[in-house]
Amino acid sequence: MFHIVVRLIPTKPARQIMAGLLLVLILLSFAPSSLSLAQEGNTEVLLAQKAGPAVVFIETVGRETELRRRLRAKNRVSELSFSTPAFRFSAVPVGSYGFITPKYLGMALITRSPDLPFEAVSPTPNSFEIHKLADGTGMLVGFVEAQLKPQLTSSQRPKNVRLGLYSNPSGKAPHIVALPLAKLLVDRMPTRLDPKEPGSAVLFEVDLQGTADSASR
């Protein structure tokens, strides 16, 4: 049809003008559908970011080394093999785990810093473990009380859950968990259970956002 219309126009300049107009109309006819597809794609990405990774809760209790091994296997993370001991979270390859001191962790979460300091070897006995999952998201590892399981593992948390996350296991907090960093809100620094002992286990009070809340909030 395009060629028929052009042939019916008597002069060459007029044909060129008409051809240009027809091309514009054809392109405009495809624009709404392309825009709609782009908007749908963006929505899917935003929803995926909003949902965030689920909490990982290991039900069994036992030795700390074994609990950490099981959680690492579940999250599919492995030890860093770099010669440099310290990194930034953004520079660490996916599928890795590392450690951060309570002080730096508290400062990073309170200030909502996008890039955590990340060490291959635990610098202190009370350091917190960080997992960088295959999709690049970060998980904070710690120990919690058994009674928190229903609130942490529910697929639909209607509101924030206030909890105490310990750096090391104890009779009070025997269960190891991994919490999505993007879902944590913090308003105070971690505290040592024994203020006189630098390597004492640390308690970190955090708010885990509900599943309906935005991760960037």
Q: Is the pLDDT of residue 194 over 90?
A: yes
Q: 165: closest CA among 216, 86, 80, 105?
A: 105
* Residue 173: strand, helix, or coil: coil
> Which residues on adjacent β-strands are paired with residue 128?
100
Q: Is residue 215 part of a domain?
A: no
7 in the same domain as 98: no
In eight-state DSSP terms, residue 129 is E
**Using 50, 70 and 90 to split pLDDT, how confident is the model at 48?**
very low
Tell me which of 31, 49, 67 is where a domain ends.
49
Burial class of residue 147, CB neighbours in 10 A (0-12, 13-18, 19+): exposed
What's residue 114's pLDDT? 73
Average pLDDT over residues 119-136: 93
Tens digits of residue pLDDT in 2-12: 454 445 445 55
Q: Is residue 213 part of a domain?
A: no
152 in the same domain as 91: yes
Tens digits of residue pLDDT in 163-180: 999 999 999 999 999 999
145 in the same domain as 43: no
Which residues have a Cβ under 8 Å from the Cβ of 69 and sit 6 or more positions away? none
Q: Is residue 166 part of a domain?
A: yes
Q: Is the pLDDT of residue 204 over 60?
A: yes
Helix H or strand E segment including 164: strand 161-166
What's residue 43's pLDDT? 26
165 in the same domain as 134: yes
* Residue 111: strand, helix, or coil: coil
Average pLDDT over residues 29-41: 36
Q: Is residue 214 part of a domain?
A: no
**Using 50, 70 and 90 to split pLDDT, how confident is the model at 75?**
very high
Q: Is the pLDDT of residue 156 over 80?
A: no
44 in the same domain as 119: no
What's residue 115's pLDDT? 87
Q: 121: closest CA among 93, 96, 90, 139?
A: 96
Number of domains in the chain: 2
Tell me the CB-side half-sphere exposure of residue 86, using CA atoms within 13 A.
7
User: Which residues constitute the domain of residue 154?
Assistant: 52-208
What's residue 113's pLDDT? 84
38 in the same domain as 73: no
72 in the same domain as 41: no
64 in the same domain as 36: no
179 in the same domain as 134: yes
140 in the same domain as 42: no
